[in-house]
A and B are shown apart, each in its own frame.
Chain A
Amino acid sequence: MVENFVPVLILFLLAAAFGLGTVAISSLLGPKRPTKVKQETYECGMVVDPPAYRPFHVKYYLIAMAFVVFDVEVVFLYPWAVKFKQLGLFGLVEMLVFIFILLVGYAYIWKKGVLEWE
């Protein structure tokens, strides 16, 4: 089975080589005249204020949490889907219960306003 993934490795290395190659050519061909002004952070020529690293809205954190819950659920569903036809009625009912429990949580976060943006 492992040899099936040799092409993956080869293609990875090749694509990375092409990507880095174009950057290398670019650094060979391109001019190299760094100046202080040129290397400043882009801000339409004004003084950068406020700086980039500052807190952003906590909403993003909640969305990320909800994503993890759903994503783990989907990962569970993939092997189930492949073997679904062999699993019989038990497989169907079991998964419907699983999805239903998830939907309860989904209704809860909706009710709590996690999905609202103002």
Chain B
Amino acid sequence: MQIESPNILLIVVAAVVMVLYVFTNSAVLVWVERKVSAHIQRRPGPFEVGPFGLLQTAIDGLKLMAKQLIIPGKADKRLFMLAPVLSFVPPIAALLTVPFGKVVQVQNLDIGILFILSLAALNVLAILIAGWASANKYSLFGAVRSVAQNIAYEIPLLLSLLTAVLWMGTLNLGELVDAQGGFWFVFTPFGFVAFLIYFVTGMAETNRAPFDLPEAESELTAGFHTEYSGMGFGLFFLGEYTNMILVSAIATSLFLGGYNLPFVTLNGEGVLWELIRVLIFLAKAYFLIFVMIWMRWTFPRVRFDQLLNLCWKVLIPFSLVNLAAAAIWIKAVGG
């Protein structure tokens, strides 16, 4: 295997930028979430630290770092420390193949979407390890619920993304965006249904309200991260917000035409055009995140049986039928 050194350097720089982006993204999103939730509930939200409370998250991060790392005496120490790292690393690595622009992409992989999904699936493992290693019944029940929820919602998630893969005939994220051009997949009836299913399951996969059963603070204290303090908790938090951007980025690339405007394909060369494309991509992704935050603070939490029934009895049959209908349509009309 021969690799030229400038190439490696470029990749390392891109990777550093990606990690820094993830940290900044989480910090900003926490602030956005607190501000949005505050205004939904007619409160001002954070405003003391910095202009509009913008530095609040930075201060909170510092505070988390200066806290004592408490490992419960009964916990399995190695697994207990492994879990937060395992929940934080895979979503960052998955962002690697997301096409923010035509060029702004760390590495275009032919198995793109499959690669992302395989990494996203590791989140369940992190939660299970955290819940098991804590040796606390709240943690364990939170983890068990979370696994039941995440594996159930993974099926409609995979099936809805599969509809997009079937329509465009590739797993490569860059090609998926190009195949849509200006005519976004969401404009087709199959794409629309698949997008709705994907968005609901995406929210469930990131364990956010109204699907935040694993954390359900009114019954399980804090669910799987009850025993975590300091940066152990901080890494779970970073992981959750990274997962949010990942879910939105996949939705943007597969359903919302990536960096293209509706009915307009942006093929211009040069830095300025690339910047415009990246901004369009980020605007779409962050709009989806805003919708996720909006829903979290507007809807009450669902009950556990409702949660699983919604998935097994509604989403799975609908996504299967949608997939079969799309397949028949492609054969009958020619896609």
Query: Top 7 A-B pairs ranked by shortest CB distance?
Result: A117-B305, A26-B231, A81-B166, A39-B73, A15-B92, A7-B107, A67-B151
Q: How far is the CA of A50 from the CA of B73 in the complex (A)?
A: 17
**Residues in chain A within 8 A of chain B (CB atoms):** 2-8, 10-12, 14-16, 18-20, 22-23, 25-27, 29-34, 36, 38-43, 50-54, 56, 60, 63-64, 66-67, 70-71, 74, 77-78, 81-85, 89, 92, 95-96, 99, 103, 106, 110, 115, 117-118
Contact among A18, A81, A115 for B309, CB-based, below 8 A: A115
Within 8 A of A (CB), among B195-238: 221, 226-227, 230-232, 234-235
- Kindly report which residue of chain A lies nearest to residue B307, judged by CB atoms: A117
- Kindly report which residue of chain A lies nearest to residue B74, judged by CB atoms: A41
Residues of B within 8 Å of A81, CB to CB, are: 162, 165-166, 169
The DSSP consensus for interface residues of chain B is helix
Contact among B66, B139, B144 for A29, CB-based, below 8 A: B66
* Cβ–Cβ contact B154 & A67, under 8 A: yes
**CB of B14 within 8 Å of the partner chain:** yes
Residue contacts A-B, CB under 8 angstroms, 27 given: A6-B11, A10-B15, A12-B89, A15-B19, A15-B92, A19-B85, A19-B235, A22-B234, A22-B235, A23-B81, A23-B232, A25-B231, A26-B66, A26-B231, A33-B68, A39-B70, A41-B136, A51-B137, A54-B137, A66-B312, A74-B155, A81-B165, A84-B166, A99-B324, A110-B313, A115-B308, A115-B313
Contact among B96, B158, B171, B323 for A82, CB-based, below 8 A: B171
Q: How far is the CA of A56 from the CA of B137 in the complex (A)?
A: 11
* Cβ–Cβ contact A22 & B92, under 8 A: no
* Cβ–Cβ contact A4 & B67, under 8 A: no
- Kindly report which residue of chain B lies nearest to residue A80, judged by CB atoms: B166
Residues of B within 8 Å of A41, CB to CB, are: 72-74, 134-136, 227
Q: How far is the CA of A50 from the CA of B137 in the complex (A)?
A: 8
The DSSP consensus for interface residues of chain A is helix
- Kindly report which residue of chain B lies nearest to residue A27, judged by CB atoms: B69
* Cβ–Cβ contact A2 & B320, under 8 A: no
Q: How far is the CA of A53 from the CA of B234 in the complex (A)?
A: 26
Task: Indicate the member of A5, A12, A38, A74 with the most B CB atoms within 10 Å.
Answer: A74
* Cβ–Cβ contact B152 & A7, under 8 A: no
Residues of A within 8 Å of B72, CB to CB, are: 39-42
Query: Known contacts being A7-B106, A30-B67, A115-B308, is A63 close to B151, with CB within 8 Å?
Result: yes
Contact among A4, A16, A30, A66 for B230, CB-based, below 8 A: A30
Q: Looking at the complex, which of B45-53, B258-266, B271-279, B325-333 is the stretch in contact with chain A?
A: B325-333
* Cβ–Cβ contact B327 & A64, under 8 A: no
